[in-house]
Amino acid sequence: MALLLLAITYLAASTLGAPEQVSLNYGSLPSEMVAMWTTVNADSSSTFCEFGTAPDNLDNVVVATRSSYYMASSNYTSPIIFKAVMTGLTAGNKIYYYRVGSPSLGYSNVFSFKSNPGFGASVTPVTFHLLGDVGQTENSISTLEQIVEVESSLTTFSGGIVSMGDLSYANGNQPLWDSFGNMRQFAASQIPMFSITGNHEWFDSKNYDFTAFQQRFDYPLVNGKKELYYSFNVGLAHWVMVSGYCQEMHTVWLKADLAAVDRSVTPWVFVGFHQPYVNSNTAHPMQIEGAPMQQAVEDTLYAAKVDMVFSGHVHAYERSCRVYKYACVGDAPYYVTIGDGGNAEGLATEWVTPQPSWSLVRQASYGHGELTVVNSTHSLWEWHQNQDLYPVVADEFWVIKDVQTTPKARHTREPVFANTERGSRAARYNAMMQTRSAK
């Protein structure tokens, strides 16, 4: 029902010809920001992104490029997709304002954003918002609303949103990409987001070429080409985004990218990919679905002394010790599964018993994560569950360089629901999905 309502909202709005699906991403330089948006109607006149340091003084103008794509399998032609690169920005999370559109078709509202914080020792602390398997449900909106709320109250630099894939759950039903773009606009128009592909992006086109994802999302090039993998620097962190659906192509690049990291500039290295291989949930068994990814990257990540690895795919939250070959090892990465962004398929509520020694905290509840790089030796990881609607951090953990911090007790937790109408709906939905998974 949520997907239907979002689709109806999109169709109603799209008849107006005004800009929709407005989103941001960091550019290739700290002085850049990329804006993307769509319109259903377009003419031959130029379309613009106007920006400046005050909402009533948008004195910088960029002409947008335009593109579209056609999916023969569903006889679908996308809206016109516009892209504009704002340049000459001052890094350091300086506030800018912008709007997009044209005189003939109309303009968007004026949005604001924080510029790229930059990278290096002077840019601390920096907080990243992490999520996976977002979808477009009531829970998806709750997750994004909570991220926006956290962003608005940050006392650190903001490093934007990092997504572990499975975005729209269109699965070939292309208009759902449009409803997804409109659903996330309230967050994506003000907070830049990097993402990687998931299996639902892979399912999206008949020949598995990720057409919609590559057309609708902007991210750094690799050797001048747009690939399904890439890396970027923000603050003291080097992020590596790896696709699980082109392993043969990116393993050589991955080793080279990690080998080139200057740890004196970015001492923290984080890796994101969709399907986890450190996973004690019975959904998407690690020995089956995670095995190819483990074979492709685990030794490389361990050898490079990656600090943390984040995944989605499993619709639950789980955090491990430092793991290598399913054993707690002091110089291995921590692994976090955060595929709990709000998808329509429900939560993955069944866990392997007994809880493996490397699994420290696990819970099937919707939410998102906050990763704050405090300095060159300490980072703080927090997981916010949103289904119970209580503004509390459900899991908090300090990541300390060269230290294996393993608690004496391991936890498998049940979600707690607020005594409200929203909480009751969430509890009923969770019970329904548990019943469905048991059949």
pLDDT tens digits, 290-348: 888 999 999 999 999 999 999 999 999 999 999 999 999 999 999 999 999 999 888 88
State how far the Cα of 252 lies from the Cα of 242, in Å rounded to an integer. Answer: 12
Structure-block tokens of residue 77: 């032609």
For residue 379, the surrounding DSSP H or E stretch is strand 378-385
Torsion angle, CA of 27/33/35/36, rounded to 10 degrees?
10
Give the per-residue pLDDT at 237.
98
The active-site residue, picked from 284, 313, 368, 384, is 284
Give the per-residue pLDDT at 356.
95
- Dihedral sign from CA coordinates of 196, 198, 378, 24: positive
Is a pLDDT exceeding 80 seen at residue 415?
A: no
Is a pLDDT exceeding 90 seen at residue 78?
A: yes
Give the per-residue pLDDT at 433.
63
Answer whether 319's CB lies under 8 Å from 336's CB: yes
State how far the Cα of 112 lies from the Cα of 192, in Å rounded to an integer. Answer: 11
| 3-state secondary structure labels for all residues of 265-287 | CCCEEEEECCCCCCCCECCCCHH
How much is the average pLDDT of 260-268? 96
pLDDT band at 15 (very low <50, low <70, confident <90, very high): very low
State how far the Cα of 198 lies from the Cα of 410, in Å rounded to an integer. Answer: 29
Is a pLDDT exceeding 80 seen at residue 437?
A: no
How much is the average pLDDT of 80-98? 97
Token look-up 């510029």 returns: 115
DSSP state of 353: S
Give the per-residue pLDDT at 7.
42
Measure Cα distances from 34 to 22, 193, 341 in Å.
11, 10, 24
Is a pLDDT exceeding 90 seen at residue 18?
A: no
pLDDT digits (tens, 9 = 90+) for 343-378: 988 888 899 999 999 999 999 889 999 999 999 999
**CB burial of residue 197 (10 Å; 0-12, 13-18, 19+):** buried
pTM recorded for the entire structure: 0.92
Is a pLDDT exceeding 70 seen at residue 389?
A: no
What stretches of 232-371 show up as alpha helix (H) in DSSP? 247-259, 291-303
E strands, 117-187, where? Answer: 126-131, 157-163
**CB burial of residue 359 (10 Å; 0-12, 13-18, 19+):** buried
Residues 6+ apart with CB under 8 A from 99: 49, 50, 51, 58, 107, 108, 109, 110, 111
pLDDT band at 273 (very low <50, low <70, confident <90, very high): very high
Answer whether 254's CB lies under 8 Å from 229's CB: yes
Give the per-residue pLDDT at 30.
96
Residues 6+ apart with CB under 8 A from 415: 347, 363, 364, 365, 385, 387, 388, 430
Residues 6+ apart with CB under 8 A from 180: 6, 136, 167, 168, 169, 170
DSSP state of 177: H
The type of residue at 413 is R
Is a pLDDT exceeding 60 seen at residue 385?
A: yes
How much is the average pLDDT of 183-204? 92
The type of residue at 322 is R
More confident site: 117 or 430:
117
Q: Per DSSP, what are the bridge partners of residue 97?
A: 52, 112
pLDDT band at 200 (very low <50, low <70, confident <90, very high): confident
Structure-block tokens of residue 38: 């769509």
Give the per-residue pLDDT at 58.
98
200 tagged catalytic: no
pLDDT digits (tens, 9 = 90+) for 49-73: 999 999 999 999 999 999 999 988 8
More confident site: 246 or 106:
106
pLDDT band at 6 (very low <50, low <70, confident <90, very high): very low
pLDDT digits (tens, 9 = 90+) for 225-240: 999 999 999 999 999 9
Q: Per DSSP, what are the bridge partners of residue 102?
A: 106
Answer whether 381's CB lies under 8 Å from 396's CB: yes
pLDDT digits (tens, 9 = 90+) for 146-181: 999 999 999 999 999 999 999 999 988 999 999 999
Give the per-residue pLDDT at 305.
97
Mean pLDDT is lowest, of 40-44, 112-116, 138-142, for 40-44
Mean pLDDT is lowest, of 176-190, 242-256, 293-307, 411-425, for 411-425
Measure Cα distances from 342 to 138, 193, 292, 316 in Å.
7, 17, 26, 10
pLDDT band at 14 (very low <50, low <70, confident <90, very high): very low
Is a pLDDT exceeding 80 seen at residue 217?
A: yes
Token look-up 């110089």 returns: 331
The proportion of the chain whose per-residue pLDDT surpasses 90, expressed as a percent, equals: 68
- Mean pLDDT in the chain? 89
Give the per-residue pLDDT at 438.
57
